[in-house]
A and B are shown apart, each in its own frame.
Chain A
Amino acid sequence: MAQESGTSRVKRGMAEMLKGGVIMDVVNVEQAKIAEDAGAVAVMALERVPADIRAQGGVARMSDPDMIAAIQAAVSIPVMAKARIGHFVEAQILQSLGVDYIDESEVLTPTDYTNHINKWDFTVPFVCGATNLGEALRRINEGAAMIRSKGEAGTGDVSNAMTHMRQIGGEIRRLTSMREDELYVAAKEMQAPYDLVKEVAANGKLPVVLFTAGGIATPADAALMMQMGADGVFIGSGIFKSGDPKSRASACVKATTFYNDPKVVGDASRGLGEAMVGINVADLPAPHRLSERGW
């Protein structure tokens, strides 16, 4: 019987299977194995974690295909990789490598300051960052099959993740209380397609899975984001920039499942050694705020 690949259901369904899980940034095979052993639902293969991109500066691009292939060969869980915003050739390459999800990410240096990738052109699904509902719906309209709130990557400061989750959640709740004639204006104001606005208003949630990212550094941060309504979490620098990545990775996985049980989250938080040092988002000069990339 006829097989259809790359349908919305297949793309969005993949993200459904990641729910309640932690996706970890890894830069080599060893880290990927630690992540898999700790119970990560997927790994994000990249050359430098956001904290290092921030520290070292320069242009951040798609990772070396050799490095991605080595990680694919080393673990049995899904492997994701990042393409620059608007860099559809990087995305074509990642698709040809058979990565399981592409993150069109503001953590890398943007390529196109006007347009994002037309994600409908691809069989592989995409996840994109968003700071508010309008941005999330514009990405979904371009074919994103999963959204993550952006937060401020590479800081270990969870405040922006909180702001973005409150923003997206609050806007969804407001839509659900509007009359139909008000939804037209809401769509105009949030610069999002009316059909998607109407769908969110009717269902009270995004049509795709919503994860949180950016600045999550502790099991408590992960549980906080889950209680704020995230379906799961991305942890970038928070694990492998900490004192004891193995224990911290496994603790964050536990806290993400038992996010409503303070005793489990508390026990998971014991004896993890030092968290990543971090930077306060408020101290970052505006040009270094990654969450402001994307349009």
Chain B
Amino acid sequence: MQVGVLALQGDFREHLNALTQCGVQGVEVRTPLELEKIDALIIPGGESTTIVSLAKTFEIFEPIKKRIAKGMPTYGSCAGMIMLADHIVAAKDGQETFGGIDITVRRNAFGRQVDSFESDISAPAISNSPIRAIFIRAPWVEKIGKGVEVLASFQGSDGASHAVAVRQGHLLATAFHPEITDDFSVHRYFLEKVCT
């Protein structure tokens, strides 16, 4: 199985490193041709507006959207979660997503960079031990549709608990960045449980 990492912008090298740590050689994906050669995709952290703009310019937006709709296993962290959400709020006017997961995601929900944080979170489906989650101008899931499994939640500044890791079939999304920690259990879960 060939796993690709969308390498238009963001921390794609950290995802490639996480894959290497899991014993998988990932490849960078920037063009429709490179997309054809992969079986699974990771959408990295970065700026979702930049990633959409570049994906459209280089005509890989629609091909990715189609592959996701056809069942390509895909994992998105932070900006990647936004890209996989069917609906987004607090977005740039007219901002589009690849979609696929029946959720509404609020961009920058946890606040600006001064509000960014790290914390242990519990995600029993992914790991028996707590996961150190890094939230950077992170989104959260505001509404959850049918068939979406919540893997982890966290309390927001509004006092309510919000989903921060979700799965719907072949699609996985986290609001946090496991790729910049040394704990690659989310990547292992993606490779072992979601991709198979």
Residue in B12, B108, B115 whose beta carbon sits within 8 Å of that of A76 in the complex: B108
Determine which residue in B120, B134, B135, B136 has the highest number of CB atoms from chain A within 10 A of its CB, and name it: B136
Kindly list chain B residues whose C-beta atoms are within 8 Å of the C-beta of A282: none
Q: Contact between B54 and A257 (Cβ–Cβ < 8 Å)? A: yes
Contact with B along A98-120 (1 / 0, CB 8 A): 11110000000000000000000
Expressed in whole angstroms, the Cα–Cα distance for A126 and B65 within the complex equals: 36
Q: A41-B47, A77-B47 are in contact. Are A14 and B8 (CB under 8 A)?
A: no
Q: Please state if B119 and A2 are interface contacts (CB–CB under 8 Å).
A: yes
Residue picked from A17, A75, A77, most chain B C-beta under 10 Å: A17
Report if A196 contacts B (CB, 8 A).
no
Establish whether residues B47 and A17, one from each chain, have CB atoms under 8 Å apart when the complex forms.
yes
| A134 sits at the interface (CB 8 A) | no
Chain A residue nearest to B179 in the complex (CB): A16
In the bound complex, do residue B50 and residue A17 qualify as a contact, i.e. CB atoms below 8 Å apart? no
Q: Which residue of A lies closest to B12 (CB)?
A: A20
CA distance A7 to B92 in the complex (A): 29
With contacts A10-B136, A20-B10 taken as known, whether A1 is within 8 angstroms of B120 at the C-beta atoms is yes
Question: Could you tell me the distance in whole angstroms from the C-beta of A18 to the nearest C-beta in chain B?
Answer: 7
B121 and A39 contacting across the interface, CB-CB below 8 Å: no
Contact A19 B119 (CB under 8 A): no
Is B9 interfacial (CB 8 A cutoff)?
A: yes
Of A10, A40, A41, A95, most B-chain CB atoms within 10 Å:
A10
Q: How far is the CA of A10 from the CA of B119 in the complex (A)?
A: 11
CA distance A125 to B135 in the complex (A): 14
- Contact yes or no, A100 B112, CB < 8 A: yes
Checking A6, A17, A76, A254 against B10 with a beta-carbon cut-off of 8 angstroms, the contacting residue is A17
Contact with A along B67-110 (1 / 0, CB 8 A): 00000000000110000000000111001000000000001100
Q: Which residues of B contact A125 (CB under 8 A)?
A: 113
**In A75-99, which residues have CB < 8 Å from any B CB?**
75-78, 95, 98-99
A residues with a Cβ closer than 8 A to B are 1-7, 9-10, 13-14, 16-21, 36-42, 75-78, 95, 98-101, 123-125, 250, 253-254, 257-258
